[in-house]
Structure 1
Amino acid sequence: MPAGQAITVLLADDQALVRSGFKMLLDAEADITVVGEAATGAEAVTLARAHRPHVVLMDIRMPVLDGIDATRQIATTRGLQTVRILILTTYDTDAYVYDALAAGASGFLLKDAGPAELLHAIRVIAAGDALLAPRITRRLIAQFTAARTAHYTAEHRLAVLTHREREVLALVGQGLSNDEIAATLTLSSATARTHVSRAMVKLGARDRAQLVVIAYQTGLVTPGPLP
């Protein structure tokens, strides 16, 4: 996203009060503009096509079309490749986080997150990064991929990567940033970023979040005991 450009956000939640609260918070920020509100997943898809926002703040549980299917439709629509989707979830009840990431979401946030966390998440997603660093994200990804890892054949999928790209993919899967990867492998940040980008292209990953999913699916990163 060009520097200095306002971040455009589409709100998708079936509760009007929730949308209103988010809108008031976001409109108070000089660098964020709300361009639309959707009460259903279907409306979210329609408005995403109309406005092409930088970020869609997407609830999972919505009528007509749920947030996961809406995410999948947006992620696979031509012309919406740059739209980033931030899923809102409740850790204790939403068992769909993995599916949302696999569908094309760039990250997710707990619904009880504070205003500062929400604003930070939107800015991180808009900048093209995935919201994967927080410990809670690794917990959820580990939990929801644990039962699926056995269904994928690692070597077939990873054969397109070089040895270095595999190393980088494993570190991305552990939630490391490009700078942290560079420090771990004694590379420059630019080189680490290049390896991440090449891995994304070779694996057909939409963004960094997709690389994390692939790292778990293929067993490069294995879910450990949840803290």
Structure 2
Amino acid sequence: MSATASDARRARFGALCVVVALAVTGLLAGTLVQLVVTSILGAFSPPTALRLAVAQSGFALALAFTALGYVVVTRRPLTYFDVRFDRRDALWAGGGLLAMFAVLAATGVLAGALGIENATHGTVTAIRETPWLGLLLVPVSLLFVGPGEELLMRNVVQKRLYGAFSRRGAIVLASVVFTLVHLPAYATPGASALALCVTLARLCCVALVLGVVYERTDSVVAAALAHSGYDAIQFGALFVTAL
């Protein structure tokens, strides 16, 4: 094995270790923030919907601060965050949003044809029990969830992988990491292993679209808008149907 090939393997392994560590850190930080926020708000007995919405916001902010922490620790400038947006980026964001729903629908039809049920996200269950949570999560998605998750998963995780893998490879790997971070949310009581695997596979396909949007634009804003819109529309629809 040549020295160049050996160096490349080490670079790839190192990059994978870094992004996995970032994902785990973000997940743990987000979970901790949710627990703290829930405990503090519990002392004031706010409406359940408000308490859950604030907890979701805290989780997303924890992901954003994980991304910021990576930039600070690695001594990168704040310009590392690809916060820019133009007309072309807007087209990619809009097209990405439509593509995400198309992928969701197509994979749903396929799963249905195979007779496989889907696992239910914990938030969906909460909205069915507390409909107003769905309405509150619309602005939360637009302001916190989309931007927070994309800053970490695309602008840091996917971008970090560019240096060791091809751009296509980075998109796929970042999408897998993104999907695994959502595993705890779908691993709810009653979800079968098959349903969980199928649901995560569908989520990964949707995440690939976000990866492509970011790769094509080098704009985390475009990816965040597509992600935010996707979540907000679904939460809004859940609110309407749950009333």
TM over 0.5: no
Name the structure, 1 or 2, with higher relative contact order (CA <8 Å, separation 6+). 2
The structure that has the greater radius of gyration is 2
TM-score range normalised by the length of the shorter chain: under 0.3
Greater strand content: 1
Please, what TM-score do these two structures have when normalized by structure 1? 0.26
TM-score (norm 2): 0.25
